[in-house]
Structure 1
């Protein structure tokens, strides 16, 4: 056999080159060493040099052929004749393409005729032929890059069609001829180069790893708009015509136009569960969204992730599917408790709205340099003493619906944070109860309003006042915050210093949290809230962050006393409120009303009448260590004696017979706001009505009813 009768196959494009060729004629790939040589598909002989290539003449050989797969590893096929018989020749560049290829892999020319071995469905939709089994190697040749060709010129050496702007052939580097007639018009070229939508979808999802000269086709404004929406849709399997895609596009657009803000928040929450974004779930819950809401068919179609979202799924189902244990615990607690809880604010929505308007009306801004907002009314929420008059079974139902049993257990039993002193909890009737609160990013603001007015900050009235106060008095609060953070880092041996730019960035982040509904708040925000209430805030909280598996993650830094230090003492009240902090959640800690406890001051002269309820809030922890006072200046910082002196100035303090330093929280039913009293009475009437339905063990309750 002559030298012309032996060729080597390129391992990238499978083009068979002459032995003298150092590089592949088609793709310019370097000839590998030890290349497997195949027989000449042309007729042997020197007289065949100028003869055209007849693909039908290659059926007689059975030599091995190198066919690259996606990993570019050589694979040898046993029957070359079967492969060659199934391929079709391109009418432009004569390249042999695999039967699945709809357009030529090399020049992207549209296939004119179907191969006899293909089924009628294979040419139009890109499905697999039925007449034979498809080899995995065909996936390589089937990666036709879609492109709408505009103007091309044909190379006179290798017959490759190049773009009009190319000055030399991309394949063989032959210079472009100066014959203008060689350039084809775009109109005649588009008729033979229609791109199917399956290749278009594959092209969108691929990275631009192809030849740099092959540019994307020009798109109209309508096509660009559709492309933006189609990028969110993963087209699986065979795709229909362009008209069907436009129908889908219009359908999705109609679905989007019908959606409301709550619907978008719900979809963001669903995506947040999949991606592990807890903030999206908190934003949806803070907007009043239903945790038990199910995904509809339109919403699943819009999300377009069949592997993640199914019709009828809720946030809980998604958390289970993607094993989000932290989110699942929060969602299950929310679903189970919302169905069983009934706080006073839920019983009478009309009164609750009136209270919210009353709070908004009582907010005023102080004139002067320190233009902070403040509340004009002093209101303290307490559980009514009439609960004790109810039968034991009804009392248990009341506490189950109004209290957070999990928070109560964590603060009392798991770590002695509240009610650790029998003297305070029993003899002085100062037992604290953790009210149930929404598990959302607004739990701090909700707990503050629960401890005062007994409602949630659903309309973000308190958050707006917090945001405006932080911005209008930024210089005052920034100085306190910076001094406190510097002292805290030094006291714990961190010994780091920040540049002023870094301090400003951290402060800007704190300001941004105040303006975002559902965003978690920090110690600085509690300090500002103490100024808005014009009264101290005592936080009883866990000392360490813990995961849901009980692992310690770090210090919480929330427990302590927050005083309105930037106000004058004469402008503030000395009766504090109490909050509980457990695992990223705040709860209001309130006491129960008691009658006439003016003689229980452990030797102190309280000067109270019979209608005033006095609750003794400890200022020390269970180890008798003084609670930290937050955001003190450099002059106010000192030892415990100096801090205790500061506490006595801002609060009504006394020492019990057991030696516990306490602060007095005073509340009066007559002095309390009438709307709050009315709301509590309507809530309590709900349990009074179910009293006759309880089973009586003896006639003692009946005798009590007759006496009343």
Structure 2
């Protein structure tokens, strides 16, 4: 017999090699010998020179060794079977071309073993073994999960799906991976990783730098992230935040995608995130609860946040950029230009210098809580501290809130000529208590409860009708008015209110600017000194001369709204006959003042001749204790 009859075909390039060759002459791939059981395969021709044929195996063993595995379920079928007995799929005969195509489909631009990171650290590829060691007869082969090819027990990778890479191919793919790492947008990739891990700071940094919130992951970026079970091509920050239940990050990203003004926004808490986090911790320490018949949470510190007077010292171009990045232009236009809701009185805006500015705020259901904290501490309610205090107060002090709420709801329905029974009122009350999760929109009851928590009145300047995107009125908005902490004693609360703006389903913080000098030194809360800050004025009337509605009054208090306002607010009348309340702005707490100074320093560096840069280092424990407006816990 000639030696050509015993040549073996290479599994990769199909080149027919001589029987004595242990690896392919063309591609240097190791020879694969098929084992039947404990005897050598009569088709292999390996071992000797081929002069003597091996003993024939028993018929049963020989017939069993010729079974073909199903490509879908890997069941071993008899040679004559045209279809799989288990799944009825047709028999498929593997070919070198299909195996190579499968390899290209499974591993594009990816090195399986070892990983790309370990190869980059080593700096040189591993040298593949020139000879494939055949295992001893007995142990069973393992089937590849990708191509169902049966490999030797000692093989660490499939010989078909993952053929060994040549040095040229390895270097080419490694250079390609390094080039992509250099060209990658690591700010965007860090934001994706931070969204999965629940860290909002890299996401805020990416969005503050002008990043696109609707950007999608590409296939190359998914390869760089190297977490195929987490990242997929086409995913955005919104998809990742929803998949991993990151509500805070979701609301932040949705803010940049919805109508909250165009351009990059830089509020003080974004410029100084460490100080903002310290301020949020201070807010948590100021919340207390009285162990009395009215167990409502309240804040021990009385703080107000306003725009600093140092803004006027900046050049006009820098001031324009500051207000562009701080204010919500859409809300300001809707409240000031489209309808005369704020800044309509010349006596208040010009003579008294009390103009309100709509500050940019997050959306997605947390805007009310964020706007309340913005007007008091200058930060957002990222950790839901105020939301938890709100709903804990509603649950634990329901015996005080529920009766007055029921009476107020019955008065509202009587004006619309229909009535509510007790079952319907209890159902509506339970629905209001079920809005405690982050991102859920809040109602009038929650604004009134927040007035009790911050211990001061809340004035809401809002649109009267909720309109669609086409400008068509959809319904009556009932948020505008004054919310008084009527369940507290008036001596326990402050007479200086905070102001909020309400537009189409969104609340905004309305902040006044700190005047350089106080116009008058009127009455205010006893614990604040008039010399510490300035005095601003807020109208208690609409532009057509009507008194702002006072919410949650009883039947006995109806018709006495102006008397209630004079009891709970410091009310006076301007020369033009406008009923206003004056608010004394005290000096902000030390942490809030440092956060504002760091925010101003960001814009001072844009000036041609910069002013003095104030230190932004966190104060020591002794400094915090000596501050005027710090809580007892600090």
TM-score in terms of structure 2 length: 0.58
Equivalent in the alignment of 2:420: 497
Question: Which structure would you say has the larger RCO, counting Cα contacts within 8 Å and 6 or more residues apart?
Answer: 2
Equivalent in the alignment of 1:386: 310
Q: 1:683: Cα distance to partner? A: 1.1
Give me the whole-angstrom Cα distance separating, in 2, the residues matched to 1:335 and 1:674: 30
Give me the whole-angstrom Cα distance separating, in 2, the residues matched to 1:598 and 1:381: 19
Root-mean-square deviation (Å): 3.8
Equivalent in the alignment of 2:38: none
Among candidates 407, 413, 416, match of residue 337 of structure 2: 413
- How many residue pairs get matched? 407
Q: Deviations over 1:142-193 (max 9, x none)?
A: xxxxxxxxxxxxxxxxxxxxxxxxxxxxxxxxxxxxxxxxxxxxxxxxx997
Distance 1:687 1:263, change over 3 A: closer
Distance 1:674 1:608, change over 3 A: closer
Equivalent in the alignment of 1:311: 234
Distance 1:301 1:429, change over 3 A: same
Q: Is the 8 A contact 2:336 2:343 kept in 1?
A: yes
Q: 1:261: Cα distance to partner? A: 10
Equivalent in the alignment of 2:469: 548
Q: Is the 8 A contact 2:238 2:254 kept in 1?
A: no
Q: Deviations over 1:540-597 (max 9, x none)?
A: 0111111122121001110000000111111111100000011111111011111333
Give me the whole-angstrom Cα distance separating, in 2, the residues matched to 1:400 and 1:380: 23
Q: Is the 8 A contact 1:442 1:517 kept in 2?
A: yes
Equivalent in the alignment of 2:299: 375
Equivalent in the alignment of 2:601: 685
Q: 1:440: Cα distance to partner? A: 2.4
Q: Deviations over 1:272-321 (max 9, x none)?
A: xxxxxxxxxxxxx9xxx9934524667999899xxxx96266769xxxxx
Distance 1:292 1:246, change over 3 A: farther
Distance 1:262 1:536, change over 3 A: same
Q: Deviations over 1:84-125 (max 9, x none)?
A: xxxxxxxxxxxxxxxxxxxxxxxxxxxxxxxxxxxxxxxx99
Equivalent in the alignment of 1:533: 454
Distance 1:660 1:451, change over 3 A: same
Give me the whole-angstrom Cα distance separating, in 1, the residues matched to 2:280 and 2:195: 22
Q: Deviations over 1:189-220 (max 9, x none)?
A: xx99744589xxxxxxxxxxxxxxxxxxxxxx
Instruction: Name the SS for the 2:337 alignment partner.
Output: helix
Give me the whole-angstrom Cα distance separating, in 1, the residues matched to 2:71 and 2:339: 67
Equivalent in the alignment of 1:706: none
Equivalent in the alignment of 1:591: 512
Mapping of residues 539-688 of structure 1, within 5 Å? 539-599=460-520, 609-637=530-558, 639=559, 642-669=560-587, 672-688=588-604
Equivalent in the alignment of 1:511: 433
Instruction: Name the SS for the 2:305 alignment partner.
Output: coil
Instruction: Name the SS for the 1:590 alignment partner.
Output: strand
Uncovered stretches (5+) of structure 2, i.e. residues with no partner: 1-69, 73-82, 91-142, 150-191, 200-206, 240-252, 612-634
Instruction: Name the SS for the 1:587 alignment partner.
Output: strand
Give me the whole-angstrom Cα distance separating, in 2, the residues matched to 1:423 and 1:417: 15
Among candidates 423, 428, 441, match of residue 352 of structure 2: 428
Equivalent in the alignment of 1:274: none
Give me the whole-angstrom Cα distance separating, in 2, the residues matched to 1:192 and 1:608: 90
Instruction: Name the SS for the 1:393 alignment partner.
Output: helix
Equivalent in the alignment of 1:344: 268
Q: Is the 8 A contact 1:292 1:335 kept in 2?
A: no
Uncovered stretches (5+) of structure 1, i.e. residues with no partner: 1-123, 127-190, 199-240, 248-258, 267-284, 317-327, 695-700, 702-708
Q: Is the 8 A contact 1:295 1:310 kept in 2?
A: yes
Give me the whole-angstrom Cα distance separating, in 2, the residues matched to 1:371 and 1:314: 40
Mapping of residues 207-286 of structure 1, within 5 Å? 262-263=195-196
Q: Is the 8 A contact 1:423 1:658 kept in 2?
A: yes
Q: Is the 8 A contact 2:288 2:300 kept in 1?
A: yes
Q: Is the 8 A contact 1:543 1:559 kept in 2?
A: yes
Distance 1:650 1:600, change over 3 A: closer
Q: 1:659: Cα distance to partner? A: 0.6
Give me the whole-angstrom Cα distance separating, in 1, the residues matched to 2:347 and 2:89: 79
Q: Deviations over 1:116-136 (max 9, x none)?
A: xxxxxxxx999xxxxxxxxxx
Q: Is the 8 A contact 1:597 1:614 kept in 2?
A: yes
Q: Deviations over 1:234-255 (max 9, x none)?
A: xxxxxxx9966999xxxxxxxx
Greater C-alpha radius of gyration: 1
Given the alignment of the two structures, is residue 448 of structure 1 paired with residue 372 of structure 2, yes or no?
A: yes
Q: Is the 8 A contact 1:578 1:590 kept in 2?
A: yes
Give me the whole-angstrom Cα distance separating, in 1, the residues matched to 2:88 and 2:427: 52
Q: Is the 8 A contact 1:197 1:242 kept in 2?
A: no
Instruction: Name the SS for the 1:414 alignment partner.
Output: coil
Q: 1:400: Cα distance to partner? A: 0.8
